[in-house]
C-alpha cells in the first residue's frame, strides 16, 4: 500500500494544460526518431517523460491565516533584501523587502498567488534572457508583474522573470481579478524566477538557500507579533 501511495503522490499527478502541446511534440519526435533508428526509442521516451514531469501540477495544501504570505514558486530562495521596488510595479511609497525565488528545470513551475486579493495592475516587459539566478535578471530579463491589493490590507507585488532557458511566461490573472491564496495564476516554461515585493513592516520567514514549495511554504507574515526567522533563532 505504501508503494502505491508513493506512486500516486509523486508520479500520477495532474499536468498543467500548457504542457500538453510540448508533451505531444516530444512524443511525436520520439516516434519519428524511433522509425529512423530503433535505438533512439529509449532516449525519446525519457525526454517525453521528462516533459511530463516538468509540467506536473501536484495538489498542494495551503496554510490559511490573515497576514501570511505563501511562496508563489517551488525553488530556492536566492535572496531576502530591503530594496526599492521597480518603478514599473508602481507600488505605494514606502520601504519594501524583496524575496527572490529561483526555479531550476526540475522544480514545479506552476506559480500560485502568495496572498488573497484583487489584482490592481499588470505589466509585461520584453527584456533579455540572462541566467535567472543573477541579480541583474530582475531588472533586465523578460518579466511579467502583478500588483495585488490584498484582503488583509497591504499592497504587494510579484514578478515572473524569464531565465536563460525559459522563453515563455504565461499569466492567467488579469487586472480586476480576485485570487485566493495558493490559487494557480501562471507558469514559466523551462527554468526561471519569481520575485515578491512586500511593504514594511513585515516579518520575513524565509531565508537565503531555503527550499520553498509553491502554495505551502510560508515566506513572510504581516500579522502583528509575528516573529522573523532571525528572532526565532535568537530565542
**With contact defined as beta carbons under 8 Å apart, do 157 and 145 qualify?**
yes
| Short-list 111, 138, 119, CA closest to 127 | 138
What is the spatial distance between Cα 192 and Cα 205, in angstroms, rounded to a whole number?
22
Catalytic residue status for 192? yes
Beta-carbon count within 10 A of 103 CB: 27
Of 79, 138, 192, 228, the catalytic one is 192
Which grid coordinates are listed for 224? 502583528
DSSP 229: H
- List Cα–Cα distances, 124 to 160, 210, 222, 231, 232, in angstroms: 10, 28, 28, 37, 38
Active site residues: 192
Amino acid at each position: 500500500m505504501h508503494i502505491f501511495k508513493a506512486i500516486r503522490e509523486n508520479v500520477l499527478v495532474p499536468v498543467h494544460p500548457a504542457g500538453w502541446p510540448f508533451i505531444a511534440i516530444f512524443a511525436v519526435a520520439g516516434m519519428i526518431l524511433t522509425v529512423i533508428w530503433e535505438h533512439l526509442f529509449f532516449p525519446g521516451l525519457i525526454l517525453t517523460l521528462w516533459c511530463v514531469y516538468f509540467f506536473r501540477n501536484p495538489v498542494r495544501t495551503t496554510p490559511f491565516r490573515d497576514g501570511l504570505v505563501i511562496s508563489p514558486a517551488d525553488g530556492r530562495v536566492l535572496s531576502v533584501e530591503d530594496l526599492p521596488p521597480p518603478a514599473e510595479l508602481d507600488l505605494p511609497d514606502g520601504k519594501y523587502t524583496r524575496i527572490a525565488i529561483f526555479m531550476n528545470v526540475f522544480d514545479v513551475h506552476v506559480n500560485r498567488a502568495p496572498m488573497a486579493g484583487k489584482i490592481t495592475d499588470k505589466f509585461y516587459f520584453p527584456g533579455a534572457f540572462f541566467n535567472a539566478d543573477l541579480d541583474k535578471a530582475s531588472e533586465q530579463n523578460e518579466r511579467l508583474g502583478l500588483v495585488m491589493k490584498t484582503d488583509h490590507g497591504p499592497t504587494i507585488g510579484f514578478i515572473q522573470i524569464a531565465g536563460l532557458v525559459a522563453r515563455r511566461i504565461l499569466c492567467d490573472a488579469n487586472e480586476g481579478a480576485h485570487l485566493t491564496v495558493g490559487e494557480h495564476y501562471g507558469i514559466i516554461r523551462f527554468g526561471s524566477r519569481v520575485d515578491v515585493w512586500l511593504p514594511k513592516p513585515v516579518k520575513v520567514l524565509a531565508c537565503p538557500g531555503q527550499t520553498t514549495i509553491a502554495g505551502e511554504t510560508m515566506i513572510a507574515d504581516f500579522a502583528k507579533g509575528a516573529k522573523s526567522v532571525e528572532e526565532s533563532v535568537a530565542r
